[in-house]
Chains A and B, each alone.
Chain A
Amino acid sequence: MKRQSDDHALAALMQAAQAGDAQAYVQLLKEIAPRLRQIIRRQHCFVKAEDIEDLVQDILLSLHAVRASYDPQRPFMPWLMAITRNRLVDAARRYGRRAAHEVQVENVSVTFSDEGANIDSDGYRDPEALRQAIEDLSPAQRAAIEMLKLREMSLKEAAAARGTSIGALKVSVHRAMAALRKALIKES
Chain B
Amino acid sequence: MTVDTEKLIERMGAAVEPVRPLARPWIRTAAWLLVAIPYVALVVSVVSPRADLISKASEWRYMIEQFAALATGITAATAAFATIIPGYDRKFLFVPALPLAIWLVSLGEGCVQDWVRLGPDELSLQPDWFCFPAIILVGAVPAIAIAVMLRRGAPLTPHLTTAVGGLAAAGLGNFGLRLFHSQDASLMVLVWQVGTVFILTAMAAWAGQYLLNWRSIVGTDRRSVLIR
Which B residues between 184 and 228 are near A, CB-CB below 8 angstroms? Answer: 214, 217-218, 220-223, 225-227
Contacts of A90 in B (CB 8 A): 214
Give A20 to B16 CA distance when docked, in angstroms: 6
State whether the Cβ of A12 lies closer than 8 Å to any Cβ in chain B.
no
> Residues of B at under 8 Å CB distance from A?
1-2, 4-6, 8-10, 12-22, 24, 84-88, 152-154, 156, 214, 217-218, 220-223, 225-227
User: Is B14 within 8 A of A68, CB to CB?
Assistant: no
Q: Which residues of B sit under 8 angstroms from A83, Cβ to Cβ?
A: 86, 154, 156
Given A18-B18, A60-B5, A65-B217, 17 additional A-B pairs, CB 8 A: A18-B21, A22-B14, A29-B13, A53-B4, A57-B4, A57-B8, A58-B218, A60-B8, A61-B222, A64-B15, A67-B19, A68-B22, A69-B154, A70-B21, A80-B86, A82-B154, A87-B214
Which residues, 1 to 29 on A, are CB-close (under 8 Å) to B? 17-23, 25-26, 29
Say whether, besides A33-B9, A60-B12, A157-B223, A19 and B18 are in contact (CB < 8 Å): yes
Please name all residues of chain A whose beta carbon is closer than 8 Å to the beta carbon of B24 when the two chains form the complex. 71
Chain B neighbourhood of A87, CB < 8 A: 214
Check A175 for interface membership: any CB of B closer than 8 A.
no
In the complex, A178 has a CB within 8 A of chain B = no
Q: In the assembled complex, which residues on chain A have CB atoms less than 8 Å from the CB atom of B2?
A: 53
Q: Would you call the interface of chain A mostly helix, strand, loop, or mixed?
A: helix
Number of interface residues of A (CB under 8 A): 46
Q: Report chain B residues within 8 Å CB of A30.
A: 1, 6, 9
A68 B86 Cβ-Cβ under 8 A: no
Decide: A26 and B153 in contact? CB cutoff 8 A.
no
Q: Is the CB of B18 within 8 A of A20?
A: yes
Binding site for B on A (CB under 8 A): 17-23, 25-26, 29-30, 33-34, 53, 56-58, 60-62, 64-72, 74-75, 78-83, 86-87, 90, 147, 151, 153, 157, 161-162
Distance of A68 Cα from B156 Cα, bound (Å): 14
Are the C-beta atoms of A78 and B87 separated by less than 8 Å? Answer: yes
Q: Is the CB of B21 within 8 A of A25?
A: no
| Cβ contact within 8 Å between B214 and A62 | yes
Q: Are A61 and B221 in contact (CB under 8 A)?
A: yes
* Docked pose: A107 CA to B13 CA in angstroms: 43
Chain B residues within an 8 Å CB radius of A69: 21-22, 84-86, 152-154
Q: In the complex, A71 Cα to B86 Cα: how many Å? A: 10
Structural contact, B217 and A29, CB atoms closer than 8 A: no
Check B87 against A23 for contact (C-beta < 8 Å): no
Report chain B residues within 8 Å CB of A53.
Answer: 2, 4-5
